[in-house]
Structure 1
Amino acid sequence: MKVMHSSSGTTATRARRPLTFRVIGFAAALSLVVGVSVVAGTSQAAFADDYPTWSDVTEARNDEAATKKVVERIKAALVQLEADAAAAQKNAEEKGNIWQEADTKYQAKATQTETLQEQADAASAEADEAETRIGELASRLVRAGGGDVTTSLLANSQDADALLYNLGMSSKISQQTSALFERAVQARNTAQSLTDAAEVARAELEILKIAAEEAFAEAQAAAQAAEEALAEQQERKIEFDAQLAALTSARKATEASYLEGVREREAARAAAEAAAQVPNLDAGEISLSGWARPAGGYITSVYGYSSNYGSSFHKGTDIGASCGAGIYAASSGTVVYAGYGWNGGYGNYIILEHAGGLRTAYGHIVDGGIHVSYGQSVAVGTKIASVGTTGNSTGCHLHFEVRPNGWDTTDPVSFMAGQGIQLG
């Protein structure tokens, strides 16, 4: 399979991070209007409008009945947000599984198509070789006549016996020449049959590709929605817990103290984010072409068909890194998928897109071990996740894929070697 080598810069910027609670615009944030839920197309706008505000908390503090009502509203909001986040994650897992199944069918058909074409090309080359050899033998046997025997033989193969007889050569054609002729005809017929089969497979492949693209788009949107729902749940819980403390504990929490805590968390998050953008070279040095090893460890399973996967085609290379070890961006790029919930056999899964549409993918990430978000730009060597054993995995390792055109896979070992990086 032809691969496209590319490299990109190492400067990282952040396109968008849904998990960030923005300090700017707190007045709007504290109005707690969530908008439309991402789960199953249902609207939570009316419920969101009823979220308790700090004004509600302040007014209810000295009124036992009012306090009880606000507390009930807060607890109901917490339950609803948790349910929304769980539903969004379930939806993301379902869409991810659908995409994974579609992608597996596409990859299997792509492999079949490529194999058929390779076999057709080999049969055609065999026919060419046999026909050339026939011509050479015939040229040595023919000593008279001005006709082009080789051209006549090949152009009129069905009448070869008559042609040779008319030339007075039938008695001189050796058994070897006859065998070569039969071999040439058989190889040419085989080549044509395989070419026809490859054309049919290509048409089927295009249909499967469209289905895989559509499934990926839905999985991508569902994963993003799940990420945002989780962020919403986490952010609101912090605020609602502070409101409950203001209403039920002896310590008198205030909106000002809550906002100060938000600012501190935001500053800590920003600092951690900036630190994460500094390339971590635990997995090895960055090559001159701008690539790095995605994880340390030995190769435990190769690309393609292997005894580890029976009749299934393995779409990547497994690297036996230890549990919790770092997973690093193989090159600078943008996060186009960050699974919140398992993605079929991959478990927790990340896809990065690099220059030229090339993509790399990272699977079996430990639960809670995804350190990047959809739309985020990362530099080569950035720690994006931690090794786990989620999905179809019997032990901690990284499943690493390279997709040169974004869809078709190629052998990561060969590709990375071309980038100056040795896996394993």
Structure 2
Amino acid sequence: MSRSVVSAHRPRSASPGRRRLLATALAIVGLVGSLVLDAPVAQAASYPSWDDVVAARGKESAKQSQIVEIRGIIAGLAAEADAARAEAERLGEAFQEAQRDALRAAEKEQALRDDAEEHAEIAEASAAQAGRFAAQMARSGGADVTTSVITGGEDSRDLLYDLGALSKLSEQAERVETAATTDASVARSLTAQADRAALKLADLAQAAQDRMGEAQAASDRAQAATDEQEGNKSRLEAQLTSLTSGRATTEAQFEKGERIRKAEEERKRKALEAEIARQLRAQQAAAAANQGGGGSAPSAGGGGGGGAPVGSGSGSGWVRPAGGWITSGYGVRVNPYTGAVAMHDGLDLGSACSSPIVAASAGTVEYVGRYGGYGNYVRIDHGGGVKTAYGHIVDGGFRVSPGQQVGAGTLVALVGSTGNSTGCHLHFETHVGGGTVNPVGFMAARGVGF
């Protein structure tokens, strides 16, 4: 409240006691307003400064209080990061379950439509055959045969033979017509079932999309919590060491040590990235040489071309997503991790740990996060109902983010063994029209072998 507003309501001749009371009231109002306006925004933690630590060293009670506070902050950061990762894991599992329901529903709908189409084609063929029988009967005289038997004019044995033949034709025509009617009815029933399945699929697909959004948000929160923890842990631990060891570590000393540590981490990171880039260039060069040399056509079988390098393709705009042989194919199998019989929606490539994973084709990154038993997972939308997915990525191995545009051969992640995995490998999926298809046949049709 401003002084002008207060003075407008103040009596012209107030007593000294009244003026002192009013001044006190104004001071209280100002203090409360200041506390409200200057209140800090809620945050994950309030971190002590090095000045706080240095000041606390001179007094034992203050030092112990500071030690307790710092230990609490460190524990709180770790707990928050763990909780965020657990939530990301939980929502990633929910996303996988919802997506699995949508995949199975899409496959059921497609199977019903395929069956309906097959029965419709059979019904059409049967109807055509019945028409041919009718035409043949008409050409043979049809009802005129009976007249010929009564009036004579032909050998009766020939006429009886013709009559028997027409009777057989009539029976066959009737059976074919009945079969055509039945198949047409079955086709209509299957189409109706497929239409109902499509409505259910739409709901399941939307549910999967919703779960994906929740899982992506949780993965982002987990990464933010991890970054918060890692960004402050070393400084807090250095402050704690300064208080507990009796050695007076200052902010300047800490910053110097941090610069050395971060420089070494950056050197190692660049060396790793350079090695990954070198591997990728070498493998892509080998792939180009193989294609230029007129190598054998990609095999549709499980083992053909299994040693082909990552990035190999045929100029179709599609490339091999990783190196290694196929260690587990597409289809129902006994899960080597859980021992349960379940659908394996992709194929596994026995790629080396931390080796590159590249986008199989150009598209938009749709998801980057946890995905149930497939651990760290990336999915790319290539348009036209076609998507590819990459699982078991190593922790810290993402090289893309949601919404990013990528080209065929763009580095998207590094091979790992997260989730339900017994060793480093890439789990690779191809999605078409809402369901999964065998990546071997899908990629072979695009000139890429495994």
Whether TM exceeds 0.5 here: the answer is yes
What whole-Å deviation, never above 9, does each CA across 1:194-240 have from its counterpart, x for those lacking one?
11111111111111111111111111111111111111111111221
Show the 5 A alignment for 1:99-118: 99-118=95-114
Name the stretch that deviates more: 131-140 or 84-93: 131-140
- For 1:264 and 1:354, locate their aligned partners in 2 and report how far apart those are by CA, in whole Å: 39
Shift of 1:378: 6.0
- For 2:232 and 2:220, locate their aligned partners in 1 and report how far apart those are by CA, in whole Å: 18
Q: 2:443 aligns with which of 405, 408, 416?
A: 416
Contact 1:106/1:208, CA 8 A, preserved across alignment = yes
Q: 1:254 aligns with which of 244, 251, 255?
A: 251
Name the stretch that deviates more: 258-267 or 105-114: 258-267
> Relative to structure 1, is the Cα distance of residues 387 and 419 closer, same or farther in structure 2, using a 3 angstrom cutoff?
farther
What whole-Å deviation, never above 9, does each CA across 1:23-70 have from its counterpart, x for those lacking one?
xxxxxxxxxxx97xxxxxxxxx3552x211233234334444433333
Contact 2:351/2:425, CA 8 A, preserved across alignment = yes
In structure 1, the partner of 2:139 is: 143
CA RMSD of aligned residues (A): 3.5
In structure 2, the partner of 1:319 is: 349
In structure 2, the partner of 1:284 is: 310
Show the 5 A alignment for 1:207-222: 207-222=203-218
- For 1:171 and 1:358, locate their aligned partners in 2 and report how far apart those are by CA, in whole Å: 55
> Relative to structure 1, is the Cα distance of residues 277 and 53 closer, same or farther in structure 2, using a 3 angstrom cutoff?
farther
> Relative to structure 1, is the Cα distance of residues 195 and 312 closer, same or farther in structure 2, using a 3 angstrom cutoff?
farther
Q: 1:60 aligns with which of 41, 56, 66?
A: 56
What whole-Å deviation, never above 9, does each CA across 1:253-287 have from its counterpart, x for those lacking one?
42442563476368548746864567455433443
Contact 1:416/1:422, CA 8 A, preserved across alignment = yes
**Identity, % of aligned positions:** 37
In structure 2, the partner of 1:388 is: 417
- For 2:108 and 2:74, locate their aligned partners in 1 and report how far apart those are by CA, in whole Å: 51
- For 2:328 and 2:400, locate their aligned partners in 1 and report how far apart those are by CA, in whole Å: 28
> Relative to structure 1, is the Cα distance of residues 230 and 199 closer, same or farther in structure 2, using a 3 angstrom cutoff?
same
Contact 1:335/1:372, CA 8 A, preserved across alignment = no
Contact 2:352/2:425, CA 8 A, preserved across alignment = yes
Name the stretch that deviates more: 245-254 or 178-187: 245-254
Contact 1:323/1:396, CA 8 A, preserved across alignment = yes
- For 1:351 and 1:72, locate their aligned partners in 2 and report how far apart those are by CA, in whole Å: 44
In structure 1, the partner of 2:296 is: none
2:130 is the counterpart of 1:134: yes
In structure 1, the partner of 2:367 is: 337
Structure-1-length-normalised TM-score: 0.71
Write 1 or 2 for the structure with the bigger share of helix: 2
In structure 1, the partner of 2:151 is: none
> Relative to structure 1, is the Cα distance of residues 292 and 195 closer, same or farther in structure 2, using a 3 angstrom cutoff?
same
> Relative to structure 1, is the Cα distance of residues 337 and 383 closer, same or farther in structure 2, using a 3 angstrom cutoff?
closer
- For 2:235 and 2:221, locate their aligned partners in 1 and report how far apart those are by CA, in whole Å: 21
- For 2:381 and 2:188, locate their aligned partners in 1 and report how far apart those are by CA, in whole Å: 38
Contact 1:224/1:374, CA 8 A, preserved across alignment = no
Q: Which amino acid aligns with 1:178?
A: E
Name the stretch that deviates more: 206-215 or 177-186: 177-186
Other structure's SS at 1:173 match: helix
- For 1:184 and 1:204, locate their aligned partners in 2 and report how far apart those are by CA, in whole Å: 30
Structure 2 residues without counterparts, runs of 5 or longer: 1-39, 142-164, 284-308
Other structure's SS at 2:47 match: coil
In structure 2, the partner of 1:206 is: 202
Show the 5 A alignment for 1:18-417: 45=42, 48=45, 50-143=46-139, 171=167, 173-249=169-245, 250=247, 252-255=249-252, 256-257=255-256, 260-261=259-260, 264=263, 267-268=266-267, 271=270, 275=274, 279-282=280-283, 283-287=309-313, 288-305=315-332, 312-321=342-351, 326-331=356-361, 335-339=365-369, 343-354=371-382, 358-366=386-394, 368=395, 370-372=397-399, 374-375=401-402, 380=409, 382=411, 384-388=413-417, 390-391=419-420, 393=421, 396-404=424-432, 407-417=434-444
Name the stretch that deviates more: 381-390 or 202-211: 381-390
Contact 1:317/1:399, CA 8 A, preserved across alignment = yes
Other structure's SS at 1:422 match: coil
Greater RCO, CA 8 A, separation 6+: 1
- For 1:259 and 1:334, locate their aligned partners in 2 and report how far apart those are by CA, in whole Å: 37
The number of aligned residues is 353
